[in-house]
């Protein structure tokens, strides 16, 4: 499954993601790597990808994460709801990335829910802080 369309990719440095620290929590290695490559091309500093909540917990603090891209369904059938609660409690903005049409989430805890395959412009807009 393609995550990004090569024709959607911005020119390097064309995005306002410079200095933004993004955690990628995704159990599909190709999807996670595609997200990481896209975000780094846009100037973000990327932690991950990691495929489990334990892996994500190790990367949250050093250095601090600004926003997390989190797939709801992770490796081994693990669900990311507790991780989303933990990230929200720490003031980290959360963008949920999923292949499911319907996910039960507290909308106050997340910035957006993006359906796979993800449009690169939509992904980038969801990651930018409000007002940018």
Q: Structurally, how many domains does the chain consist of?
A: 1
1 occurs within a structural domain: no
CA atoms within 13 A on the CB side of 90: 16
pLDDT of residue 130: 63
Percent of the chain with pLDDT over 70: 81
DSSP 8: G
Structural domain contains residue 23: yes
What pTM does this model have?
Answer: 0.84
Q: Which residues contact 82 (CB under 8 A, 6 or more apart)?
A: 53
Answer yes or no: is pLDDT of 35 > 70.
Answer: yes
Tell me the average pLDDT across 30-52. Answer: 94
Determine the angle formed by the axes of helices 120-127 and 29-41, rounding to 10 degrees: 70
Omega before 43 within 30 of 0, i.e. cis: no
Q: Report yes or no on 56 lying in a domain.
A: yes
Q: For the chain, what's the residue count?
A: 132
> What is the tens place of the pLDDT at every residue in 79-131?
899 999 999 999 999 999 887 766 676 678 888 888 888 888 889 989 887 65
CATH number at residue 109: 3.40.50.2300
Whether 9 maps to a domain, the answer reads no
The parent domain of residue 87 ranges over 18-126
């Amino acid at each position: 499954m393609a995550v990004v369309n090569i024709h959607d990719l911005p020119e390097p440095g064309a995005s306002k993601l410079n200095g933004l620290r993004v955690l990628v929590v995704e159990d599909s290695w190709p999807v996670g790597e595609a997200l990481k490559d896209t975000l780094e091309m846009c100037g973000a500093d990327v932690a991950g990808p990691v495929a489990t909540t334990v892996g994500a917990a190790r990367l949250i603090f050093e250095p601090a994460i600004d926003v997390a891209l989190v797939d709801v369904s992770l490796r081994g059938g693990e669900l990311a709801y507790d991780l989303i609660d933990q990230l929200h409690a720490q003031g980290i903005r959360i963008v949920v990335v999923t292949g499911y049409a319907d996910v039960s989430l507290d909308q106050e805890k997340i910035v957006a829910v993006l359906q796979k395959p993800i449009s690169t412009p939509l992904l980038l807009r969801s990651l930018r802080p409000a007002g940018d």
